[in-house]
Structure 1
Amino acid sequence: MMSTPMVVTFVVYILGMIVIGLVAYRATNNFDDYILGGRSLGSVVTALSAGASDMSGWLLMGLPGAVFLSGISESWIAIGLIAGAYLNWKLVAGRLRVHTEANDNALTLPDYFTSRFEDKSKLLRVISALVILLFFTIYCASGIVAGARLFESTFGMSYESALWAGAAATIIYTFIGGFLAVSWTDTVQASLMIFALILTPVVVILALGGIDTTMMTVAMQNPANLDMFKGLNLIAIISLMGWGLGYFGQPHILARFMAADSHHTIRSARRISMTWMILCLAGAVAVGFFGIAYFANNPDVAGNVKENGERVFIELSMLLFNPWIAGILLSAILAAVMSTLSCQLLVCSSAITEDLYKAFLRKNASQRELVWVGRAMVLLVALIAIAMAANPENRVLGLVSYAWAGFGAAFGPVVLMSVMWSRMTRNGALAGMLVGAVTVIVWKQYAWFSLYEIIPGFIFATLAIVVVSLMGREPSKAIQSRFVAAEAEYRTV
Structure 2
Amino acid sequence: MSTGSPGQIVGIVVASLLVVGSGIAMSVYFGRKARGSAGWLAAGESLPLIVVIITQFATATGGGVLIAHVGIGYRSGWSVFVYEGCVLVGFLVLALIARWLRTQRFTTVPDIVTRLFGRHRLVTAIAALAALVVPFGWLATQFVAFAQLFGQLTGISPTALILVMTVASLLFVLPGGLTSVAWTDFVFGIFMIAMSLGVAGYAVHLAGGWGHIAAVVPRRLWGVEGLTAVGWQQIWLWIAAILPGTLTNQLYYQRVFATKKVSDARRGLVLSGLTMLVGGVYAGCIGLSVHAMNPSLLNEEDAAGWLLTRLPSWLVVVFGAFLVSTIVSTTGAALQSVVANLTRDVYQNIAGRSRDEHRTVALSRVITVAVALLAAVLAILFPKALDWLVATYAYSAAALAAPIFLGYLLHRFRRLTPAPAIAGMLAGIVGCGAAQLIGTTVPYAVYGIAASAVVLLATALATSSKRTTSVHSELARES
> Is this contact kept in 1: 2:121–2:349, CA < 8 A?
no
* CA–CA separation in structure 2 for the residues paired with 1:42 and 1:338: 22
Any idea what the Cα deviations from partners look like across 1:406-425, whole Å, max 9, x if unmatched? 22221122222333332354
Residue 332 (str. 1) matches residue 322 (str. 2):
yes
Aligned residues between the structures: 469
Q: CA deviation at 1:247?
A: 1.4
* CA–CA separation in structure 1 for the residues paired with 2:85 and 2:368: 34
For residues 368-383 of structure 1, the aligned pairs below 5 Å read 368-383=358-373
* CA–CA separation in structure 2 for the residues paired with 1:184 and 1:31: 17
Any idea what the Cα deviations from partners look like across 1:54-99, whole Å, max 9, x if unmatched? 23210111110233245444554233222222222x213222112x
* The one of 10, 19, 22 aligned to 1:4: 10
Which secondary structure does the structure 2 equivalent of 1:364 belong to?
A: coil
**Distance change (3 Å), C-alpha of 1:285 and 1:223:** closer
Which secondary structure does the structure 2 equivalent of 1:390 belong to?
A: helix
* The one of 303, 307, 312 aligned to 1:312: 303
Q: CA deviation at 1:378?
A: 0.9
Aligned to 1:387: 377
> Is this contact kept in 2: 1:239–1:455, CA < 8 A?
no
| One-letter amino acid of the structure 2 residue matched with residue 16 of structure 1 | S
| One-letter amino acid of the structure 2 residue matched with residue 405 of structure 1 | A
> Is this contact kept in 2: 1:171–1:382, CA < 8 A?
yes
Q: CA deviation at 1:221?
A: 11
Q: Which runs of 5+ in 1 are unaligned?
A: 300-305
- Bigger Cα displacement from structure 2, 366-375 vs 350-359: 350-359
**Distance change (3 Å), C-alpha of 1:262 and 1:74:** closer
> Is this contact kept in 1: 2:191–2:322, CA < 8 A?
yes
Q: CA deviation at 1:367?
A: 0.7
Aligned to 1:402: 391
Q: CA deviation at 1:404?
A: 1.7
* CA–CA separation in structure 2 for the residues paired with 1:178 and 1:477: 41
- Bigger Cα displacement from structure 2, 250-259 vs 308-317: 308-317
* CA–CA separation in structure 1 for the residues paired with 2:394 and 2:462: 27
* CA–CA separation in structure 2 for the residues paired with 1:488 and 1:198: 43
Aligned to 1:303: none
| One-letter amino acid of the structure 1 residue matched with residue 395 of structure 2 | G
- Aligned Cα RMSD in Å? 2.8
Aligned to 1:28: 34
For residues 164-203 of structure 1, the aligned pairs below 5 Å read 164-203=163-202
Which secondary structure does the structure 2 equivalent of 1:319 belong to?
A: coil
> Is this contact kept in 1: 2:47–2:258, CA < 8 A?
yes
Q: CA deviation at 1:129?
A: 1.8
For residues 48-197 of structure 1, the aligned pairs below 5 Å read 48-73=54-79, 75-88=81-94, 90-98=95-103, 100-101=104-105, 106-119=106-119, 121-197=120-196
* CA–CA separation in structure 1 for the residues paired with 2:164 and 2:352: 35
> Is this contact kept in 1: 2:90–2:246, CA < 8 A?
yes
Which secondary structure does the structure 1 equivalent of 2:177 belong to?
A: helix
* The one of 416, 429, 439 aligned to 1:437: 429
| Structure 1 stretches of at least 4 aligned residues deviating more than 6 Å after TM superposition | 220-226, 475-478
| One-letter amino acid of the structure 1 residue matched with residue 388 of structure 2 | L
* CA–CA separation in structure 2 for the residues paired with 1:136 and 1:58: 14
The TM-score, its normalising length taken from structure 2, stands at 0.89
> Is this contact kept in 1: 2:217–2:291, CA < 8 A?
yes
Which secondary structure does the structure 2 equivalent of 1:61 belong to?
A: helix
Residue 413 (str. 1) matches residue 413 (str. 2):
no
| One-letter amino acid of the structure 1 residue matched with residue 110 of structure 2 | P
| One-letter amino acid of the structure 2 residue matched with residue 310 of structure 1 | E
| One-letter amino acid of the structure 1 residue matched with residue 438 of structure 2 | Y
Q: CA deviation at 1:313?
A: 3.2
* CA–CA separation in structure 1 for the residues paired with 2:308 and 2:182: 27
Any idea what the Cα deviations from partners look like across 1:383-430, whole Å, max 9, x if unmatched? 11111111355331x234312222222112222233333235422222
* CA–CA separation in structure 2 for the residues paired with 1:399 and 1:226: 34
Q: CA deviation at 1:107?
A: 2.0
